[in-house]
Amino acid sequence: MTINKIAGSVTVSKGFKANGIHCGIRKNKTKKDLAVIISDVQANVAAVYTQNLIKGAPITITKKNIVNGVARAIICNSGNANTCNADGIEIAEKMCELVADATNIAKTDVVIASTGVIGQALDISVIEKGIPSLISGLNNTNGGTNAAEAIMTTDTVPKECAVSFELDGKLCHLGGIAKGVGMINPNMATLLVFLTTDVAISSSLLQNAISDDVKGTFNMVSVDGDTSTNDMLVILANGLAENNLITTTDSNYAIFCKALNIVTEDLCRKIAFDGEGATKLIQCDVINAKDLVSARKAAKSVISSALLKSALNASDANWGRVLCALGYSGATLNPEKIDVSFESQNGTILVCKNGYGVDFDENIATKILSATTVIVNINLNDGDFKASAWGCDLTEEYVRINGGYRT
């Protein structure tokens, strides 16, 4: 099985086009704020949503529209969450209608998403005026990047990834875009992720694949511990690669899941590294845990620790904060078996053995932690399970960004 990373995102798969424009939702005219992704044919669809009890109107409409397991289009705006608005459902339905009218796609085959400020009225007229330009600019070259830019809020860079692989001798593709750098503590989800593939796979297995995948990917990302109201992961599979339809958890399903995981892990790292105000990507790798739940709880707790995030921002090897986070993680572990080391492109240094500190050179540790990607290695020495989680350092810039986010 060979899965290759390739250039591109949601338009690498056969039969998909996308675009992103500035329509006027955001005051800054240099910022795109409206995106669309369209399949040439009906596609099977699956989604996972935020676990926040307060949900944006777009989620309500998307859930209703895809209950039959099929869709053809995704429309998303940035700059306004369309959440806690009295006319939110009406606006979300109207956005689906606008896409339908411009493309001859049924409005019930449109997925809708919004991201931005909560509780602020969304002016549908600017979206309506922008639809002709949005649709006329659909393409499979730079359309994916345009869409990735249009879903950004405080993101500093667009997030894209794509892979190619073979099933039944047919060349297949899977690509995605994502946004999310603040209000990130997915369970799932606290970001927007749109994936497309030309693989032929049933909607039920597509749902199984992403539901399983997010447990070890997007649910293992945290920037600030806040869970958003709007966000979701949606995947469209239009079958144009012409492989045999995947209807069972066979070897083709396993290959598809691996390809999916390569894309989602890549997007996870990009989301964490672009965390609001972040200067470092923090990855925590836990090995030899008693069970998978414990491995995931331990890794997620460490990258979520505000104290550790602050220490790593200053390249301070304050490893006690790692053990502290493990202690309240809820993971099953033996404190007297825990080993901890810090790793980066500048080297690796052991700081804790069997739950106790060891002598180490602070200057070497500082050099290791000064890299832009830092890995916290944890060996629980208590089983055979492992997990990874991704986060970022905590900076004064995060407070500045969120202090004036609305104004």
Average pLDDT, rounded, for the chain: 92
pLDDT of 121 higher than 50:
yes
Give the other-Cβ count within 10 Å of 123's Cβ.
Answer: 14
Q: State yes or no: pLDDT of 229 exceeds 70.
A: no
Which pLDDT band, with edges at 50, 70 and 90, does 97 fall under?
A: very high
State the DSSP string of 181-248: SSS---SS-SSEEEEEE---B-HHHHHHHHHHHHHHTGGGB-SSS---SS-EEEEEE--TT-PPPB-S
Read off the tokens for 382.
């208590």
Q: What is the reported pLDDT for 188?
A: 39
Query: How many Å separate Cα 45 from the centre of its chain?
Result: 17
Find out whether 341 and 350 touch, Cβ atoms under 8 Å. Answer: yes
- Read off the amino acid at residue 71: A
d(CA 68, CA 240): 20
In DSSP terms, 254 is beta-bridged to none
Catalytic residue, chosen from 50, 153, 190, 197, is 190
CB 306 within 8 A of CB 297: no
Confidence class for position 397, pLDDT limits 50, 70, 90: confident
Residues 176-218: pLDDT tens digits? 999 975 544 444 334 799 999 999 999 999 999 999 999 999 8
The pLDDT confidence band at residue 309, using thresholds 50, 70 and 90, is very high
Which amino acid, one-letter code, is at 210? I
Q: Which of 265, 297, 292, 294 is nearest to 281 (CA)?
A: 265
Query: How high is the pLDDT of residue 394?
Result: 86
Give the single-character DSSP code of 139. Answer: B
For residue 328, count other CB atoms closer than 10 A to its CB.
10
What are the structural domains, with CATH classification, of the chain?
4-273 (3.60.70.12), 281-403 (3.10.20.340)
Element (H, E) at 129: helix 124-136
**The predicted structure's pLDDT at residue 19:** 98
Instruction: Please name which of 259, 200, 270 lies closest in space to residue 14, comparing C-alpha atoms.
Output: 200
Q: What distance in Å separates the CA atoms of residue 333 and residue 118, rounded to the nearest whole number?
A: 40
Q: Compute the CA torsion angle 108, 267, 303, 344 (nearest 10 deg).
A: 180
190 flagged as catalytic: yes
Q: What is the pLDDT of residue 228?
A: 57
pLDDT tens column, 233-266: 999 999 999 999 999 999 999 999 999 999 999 9
- Indicate the pTM of the whole model: 0.90
Confidence of residue 222 (pLDDT cuts 50, 70, 90): confident
Neighbour count for residue 275 (Cβ, 10 Å):
31
Mean pLDDT of 261-282: 90
What pLDDT, on the 0 to 100 scale, is given for residue 407? 57
- Paired strand residues for 201: 246
C-alpha–C-alpha distance, residues 174 and 37, integer Å: 14
User: What does the pLDDT read at residue 124?
Assistant: 96
Q: Range with the lowest mean pLDDT among 31-35, 123-127, 179-183, 393-397?
A: 179-183
Q: Position 133: which residue type?
A: S
Mean pLDDT for the stretch of residues 28-43:
96
Looking at residues 218-239, what average pLDDT do you find?
79
Amino acid 231: pLDDT: 77
> Which pLDDT score is estimated for 187?
47
As given in the structure block, the two tokens for residue 316 are 């301070």
> Residues 44, 236: contact at Cβ < 8 Å?
yes
Q: How confident is the model at residue 230 (pLDDT cuts 50, 70, 90)?
A: low
Nearest to 38 by CA among 163, 126, 144, 171: 144
Query: pLDDT, tens digit, for every residue of 62-88?
Result: 999 999 999 999 999 999 988 888 899
H or E stretch covering 47 = strand 34-49
Find where tokens 């200057």 sit: 363
Helix (H, G, I), strand (E, B) or coil at 85: coil
What is the model's pLDDT at position 154? Answer: 80
Residue with tokens 């794509």: 162
